[in-house]
Amino acid sequence: MSKAKTEEGLGCLFVIAVIAAIFWAAHDGLDSHGWIPHNEETAITAQSSWFVGESKECVSYPPFNQAEAQPMGKPVGYAVGRIKCDDGPEHRVKIRFFGRIEQPEYEVVKWKCTREEDSFTCYELSGIRTEK
């Protein structure tokens, strides 16, 4: 292979790497602002009086260490393992989340969840850090 072909190939790889980095950064930015949906089967508390189309403010408590995260088989900061919306029974259903799935910097994550016909959609509102 000639030197010119090698340099051309390396230049092409560099351009591909730059484009990939831009796409990764864009995806990460959109995800952190809640624009990319994530579908997860998750436990959520829901009273039977929660009707289709109704929204409620809910919370989740991401595990803050490996000992808490390991039984779930999820990473530290997994913010969608269990969503508490009310004092109703816990149901395991598919939920579409708009917001980051992993949030190790927060102890509480607030969500606005809407009941759908056979699922829920939750939008991240904020996260709360508490000092220990």
How many CB atoms lie under 10 A from the CB of residue 2? 7
DSSP one-letter code for 23: H
Q: Domain range holding 89?
A: 37-128
Assess whether 66 and 27 both reside in one domain: no
Task: Please list the rounded mean pLDDT of every run of 10 residues in the chain (132 residues).
Answer: 63 61 54 73 94 96 79 83 95 94 92 95 89 58
3-state helix, strand, coil in the chain (%, to 5): 30, 35, 35
Assess whether 64 and 121 both reside in one domain: yes
Q: How many structural domains compose the chain?
A: 2
Q: Give the DSSP H or E segment for 3.
A: helix 3-32
Assess whether 96 and 71 both reside in one domain: yes
Query: Residue 94: helix, strand or coil by DSSP?
Result: strand
pLDDT at site 123: 95
Assess whether 17 and 48 both reside in one domain: no
pLDDT at site 98: 94
